[in-house]
Amino acid sequence: MLYRENGQFKTTYAADQQIFTIAQDKWFVLGIVAFAFLAVPMLADEYMFRAILIPFLILSLAALGVNLLVGYCGQITLGAGAFMAVGAYAAYNFLIRIDGMPLIGALLLGGLTSAGMGILFGIPSLRVRGLYLAVATLAAQFFCDWAFLRIKWFTNDSSSGSVSVSDLSVFGWVIDSPAEKYLFCLGFIVVFAVIAKNMTRATIGRQWMAIRDMDVAAEVIGIRPMYAKLSAFAVSSFFVGVAGALWGFVHLGSWEPAAFSVDRSFQLLFMVIIGGLGSILGSFVGAAFIVILPIFLNQFLPALGGLLGLHISTAAVSHAELIIFGSLIVFFLIVEPHGLARLWAIAKEKLRLWPFPH
């Protein structure tokens, strides 16, 4: 009833090609963004910001980057954590080695460095495909883990590769309270999500999708595989690198290479696959799922145990968390292999017709 596009006529091509062709969609998304900018900073408390909202925003940015590569261009990567690390450490070096480097400049330069690394480690994708490529990208992961631990120049000669950043400020706006950090990340996320959405609708995104669906066929119709694949690696690594820099600068403050280990790479891939491959919304849903579920289990299991009169030790809770987390992943992949975003799309289709069956 509410969700119906009857009577929404398009009189220009521009109107027909806008991102949200259905007015309800547009208002819904704008409403969510407005809510996130205006209402959330007033409603949420410090714990919410630190433990849930900021990690969620930054990891959705990273998941967005991974989704561009895995979901849109079809190149499976297990090395996303490495590109986060490259972004974080490169941004750190730009910030401390160049006097007067603005924060946003450092973050974006970190992203660019990561994009360069992405192109370098994307070169094998021109010959190696599928699961072989997935394992090959682990080379980037382990090489970066090692490089940031052993090569002291990257970490400004600090021991064990741990570095820290303090006093974040943009044009005189000092970012120190959790709410300000949240707004800073949110600004980044919104801009990057719009860029990503538009990229996937433009020539470059269509080339990626053609390569994903069948690279030989794409080549036959005149798409250059080298350009398309490497651009996907570059753009994806740029997103992931900026996310890594934000993760280090804003969320952690001080970090060491272990913050971007292979587990992080798996986590990012989980987000895009559970959220939905080839879907911008999916990146957000997946990130929310992976960020919130462990926190929820951590709080909920002891409470449940208390309710039943059982005392559960912390070790047992952490094992139970692993079991439940793993089984939920298996469960969701079985019921909806195309990700949670597909459920949302199905729901929208149903809503358009409701209350009629056809």
Partner 1 sequence: MGFFIETLIGGLMAGMLYSLVALGFVLIFKSSGVFNFAQGAMVLFAALAMARFSEWANAALGGNSLFLANLIAFVGAGATMWLVAWVVERFVLRKLVNQEGATLLMVTLGITYVLEGVGQTIFGSEIYNIDVGMPKEPVMMFENLFEGGILINKEDFIAALIAALLVGLLTLFFQKTPVGRALRAVADDHQAALSIGIPLNRIWVIVWLVAGVVALVAGIIWGSKLGVQFSLATVALRALPVVILGGLTSVPGAIVGGLIIGVGEKLSEVYIGPMVGGGIEIWFAYVLALVVLLFRPQGLFGEKIINRV
Q: What are phi and psi of 12, to 5 degrees?
A: -130, 160
Q: How far apart are CA 291 and CA 287, in angstroms?
A: 6
Check whether the bond before 102 is cis (ω within 30° of 0).
no
Restricting to residues 7-66, which ones interact with partner 1 according to CB under 8 A? none
Interface residue with partner 1 among 134, 168, 190, 292 (CB under 8 A) is: 134
Rg (CA), the chain: 21
Interface residue with partner 1 among 43, 216, 307, 308 (CB under 8 A) is: 216
Site for partner 1 contains 135 (CB under 8 A):
yes
Site for partner 1 contains 293 (CB under 8 A):
no
- Mention every residue, 6+ apart, whose C-beta is less than 8 A from residue 167: 174
Residue 168 β-bridge partners: 175
Site for partner 1 contains 314 (CB under 8 A):
no
Residue 170 β-bridge partners: 173
C-alpha triplet 296, 298, 304: angle, nearest 5° = 85
Restricting to residues 58-87, which ones interact with partner 1 according to CB under 8 A? 70, 76
Segment interacting with partner 1, rule: CB under 8 A, options 5-13, 20-28, 198-206, 323-331? 323-331
Pick the closer one to partner 1 by CB: 64 or 76: 76
- Structure-block tokens of residue 209: 């999708």
Segment interacting with partner 1, rule: CB under 8 A, options 104-112, 122-130, 172-180, 223-231? 122-130
CB 54 within 8 A of CB 112: no
Is 168 strand, coil or helix? strand
DSSP 152: G
Q: How far apart are CA 96 and CA 155, in angstroms?
A: 10
Q: How far apart are CA 206 and CA 16, in angstroms?
A: 18
Segment interacting with partner 1, rule: CB under 8 A, options 155-163, 185-193, 242-250, 331-339? 331-339
Q: How far apart are CA 293 and CA 335, in angstroms?
A: 18
Interface residue with partner 1 among 94, 249, 270, 289 (CB under 8 A) is: 270
In whole angstroms, how close is the CB of 180 to partner 1 at the nearest point?
Answer: 35
Q: How far apart are CA 228 and CA 238, in angstroms?
A: 15
Site for partner 1 contains 300 (CB under 8 A):
no
In whole angstroms, how close is the CB of 187 to partner 1 at the nearest point?
Answer: 31
Q: Which amino acid is at 336?
A: E
Site for partner 1 contains 226 (CB under 8 A):
no
CB 86 within 8 A of CB 94: no
Q: What number of chain residues touch partner 1 (CB under 8 A)?
A: 50
Segment interacting with partner 1, rule: CB under 8 A, options 7-15, 105-113, 143-151, 154-162? 143-151
Site for partner 1 contains 209 (CB under 8 A):
no
Pick the closer one to partner 1 by CB: 3 or 143: 143
Query: HEC string of 166-181?
Result: CCEEECCEEECCHHHH
Pick the closer one to partner 1 by CB: 15 or 135: 135
Q: Are strands 254-255 and 163-164 parallel, antiparallel or unpaired?
A: antiparallel
Residue 79: closest CA among 46, 36, 124, 37: 124
In whole angstroms, how close is the CB of 281 to partner 1 at the nearest point?
Answer: 18
Pick the closer one to partner 1 by CB: 329 or 343: 329
Interface residue with partner 1 among 326, 347, 348, 351 (CB under 8 A) is: 326
Interface residue with partner 1 among 50, 129, 206, 352 (CB under 8 A) is: 129
Segment interacting with partner 1, rule: CB under 8 A, options 98-106, 166-174, 176-184, 313-321? 313-321
The contact set with partner 1 (CB under 8 A) reads: 70, 76, 124, 127-132, 134-136, 138-139, 142-143, 145-146, 149-151, 214-217, 220, 262, 266, 269-270, 273-274, 277, 315-316, 319-330, 333-334, 337
